[in-house]
Structure 1
Amino acid sequence: MHRDKDHDHGNRVVTETGNSPDTTVPIVVYTLYLAGVVTGGLTALIGVVIAYVYRGKGPYWLDEHYRYQIRTFWLALLYFAVSGLLTLVMIGFVTWLLAVVWLVVRCVKGLKGLQEKRVPDNVETWLF
């Protein structure tokens, strides 16, 4: 199979010729992350393992989704751990809610990027 790729990191434009890759696995990872909110992070742990396994096996724009997912997992772990510590001073409940909103926004942005077959916005950011 022959594939041509054009990468413009500034505009996040990716042009592919040939068969379009299956986006089912990264969709499942984003869904597992969202389910992690109610499973105490168990499904998110499964999701990050999947992201690590599939990273580097697809076109550039899809690999960037796996990188985004891996970063999202580790940042979420940090944010939820800090929120857990902050519950000792009663502000942790607010920061936990903010971390949930942050996670949902990142997952929705990632899913939107997958739907458009492009790199997620702001892969390197600690925010959205």
Structure 2
Amino acid sequence: MTINVSQTKDATGRGWAIVIYGLLLGSIMTVVTAPLAAILAHWRCPGSAPWVASHLRFQARTFWIGLMACALAFAAWQELGYLGAPPLSAWIFGYLFFTALLIWLVGRCAIGIHRLTANLPIDNPKSLLLGLHSSKK
């Protein structure tokens, strides 16, 4: 695999991508950093090197997919209450959902940080999972 000359640690926007991955991981402890990460990712994407822009799009999608999943899970949790499900079932649903969300978030950030420090783009920034599936054949 050859690395393009522009794919270096000095590429435009690379530092921001590192900070944004940190903010996404920081959202595990303080949720307020996730929207900040999304805002920064959207803001820095247009002027970044193309391979860094793939990371920024991946980061922004991480926020939006996570937010959508939380909204759907909240609606399902409410529906459990309306259906008269026992409280333990709602607790188990919430625990399993947030555990899966945490694993998904850490996995996406770990893959992204690994690829960013190796000066590689995200293969498929539009992926719902880890962005590793290449859309190129």
Q: TM-score range by the shorter chain?
A: 0.7 to 0.9
Q: Does the 8 A contact of 1:44 with 1:73 survive in 2?
A: yes
Q: Does the 8 A contact of 2:34 with 2:63 survive in 1?
A: yes
Structure 1 stretches of 5 or more lacking a match?
Answer: 1-10
Q: Output the CA distance in 1 between the equivalents of 2:54 and 2:7.
A: 19
Two-structure CA RMSD over aligned residues (Å): 2.1
Q: Secondary structure at the match of 1:51?
A: helix
Q: Deviations over 1:65-84 (max 9, x none)?
A: 11111111100111222333
Q: Secondary structure at the match of 2:72?
A: helix
Normalization by structure 2: what TM-score?
0.74
Matched, 1:93 2:84: no
Higher strand share: 1
Look up the match of 2:125.
123
Q: Output the CA distance in 2 between the equivalents of 1:80 and 1:32.
A: 18
Look up the match of 2:107.
105
After TM superposition, where is structure 1 displaced by more than 4 Å over at least 4 residues in a row?
A: none
Paired residue total: 116
The percent of aligned pairs where both chains have the same amino acid is: 26
Larger Cα-atom Rg: 2
RCO higher in 1 or 2 (8 Å CA, sep ≥ 6)? 2
Structure 2 stretches of 5 or more lacking a match?
Answer: 81-89, 131-137
Q: Secondary structure at the match of 1:15?
A: coil
Q: Which sits farther off after the overlay, 54-63 or 17-26? A: 17-26
Normalization by structure 1: what TM-score?
0.79
